[in-house]
Amino acid sequence: MAQTVVGRYELRALVGKGSMARVVEAFDTVLQRDVAIKFLRSDAADPEGRTRFLREVRVAASLTHPNIVRVYDAGEDGGRLFLVTELLRGPSIAAVLKRRRRLTFRQAVLVTDRVLGALGAAHDQGLVHRDVKPSNILIGDDDRTIKLTDFGLAKSQQDAGAAVTRPGQVVGTPMYLAPERSEGRDATAASDLYSLGVVLFEMLVGRPPFKGRNLLELAVAHQQAPIPPIGRPDVPEALEVVMLTALARDPAARPPSAQAMREALRSAARQGMRRALATAS
């Protein structure tokens, strides 16, 4: 007999696992559909954190957007916190980059555009994602469906400080963390845009813009190191400007909103297309 969660979800294959959670494919026996279930590690949340997790998931479940992985359910089973979402069978951008090293100009623009749509919808509802990175961007079977996941761990902009499960613990992946976040300042919409700027750089170049031998060196690099050149003649200067603006160390110097960055991205993409056509003729 298949192992079930709360008597409803039949667990199937392991999809992936990380330092904070593991994701399992499952079947919802009530609604007769495939889903993904994320189980948080038992030591990843204290009692206060468990309450906060469930509250934040309820808020995230209210998000409805074609580029956001839908949250269906959340709860606790046998002492394990779990989150149920729609299941996408395609790879993450992290997996694609591992296989291809970098994306084409058009692919990078498409992914960035769709993620900006997702972030704009979240920010409009007062939510910040706080962990935008390649492994949280999923691709559908058609290679054009792009969805941002892990919104179950998003947080209201009114309550988006550094602490998540324990006081003093900063949420986010250091490689993609905005400078102000490593300093312990609150997460904002601008912090999400910075993280997406790092992702855009990695999609175009094949590696993130900053590195360090430890977390401290990496944080200092984000705060002080110069941004390396892209080194790709097929990438229009206007797109590089969009990326560099998102990577501004001062949050006030970044795009004023996800929608503003999306409009600038699309304008840059059109310039790139026109230049490509002119070169080909």
Supply the residues annotated as catalytic: 131
Q: With CA atoms as reference, report the closest residue to 200 among 120, 274, 251, 261.
A: 261
- The pair of three-digit structure tokens given for residue 109, joined into one six-digit string: 């623009």
Helix or strand (DSSP H, E) at 28:
strand 21-28
Distances (CA, A) of 182 to 62, 218, 242: 29, 10, 23
Token pair 């601008």 in the structure block, residue: 190
The DSSP code sequence of 219-231 is: HHHHHHSPPPP--
Is the Cβ–Cβ distance between 263 and 121 less than 8 Å? Answer: no
- The pair of three-digit structure tokens given for residue 160, joined into one six-digit string: 């988006």
The Cα–Cα gap between 239 and 275 comes to: 13
Rg (CA), the chain: 19
The DSSP code sequence of 135-170 is: GGEEE-TTS--EEE--GGG-EEGGG--S-SSSTTPP
- The pair of three-digit structure tokens given for residue 164, joined into one six-digit string: 């998540």
- 98: which residues sit within 8 A by CB, 6+ positions away? none
Is the Cβ–Cβ distance between 219 and 176 less than 8 Å? Answer: no
Q: With CA atoms as reference, report the closest residue to 171 among 181, 156, 179, 180.
A: 181
The Cα–Cα gap between 270 and 242 comes to: 13
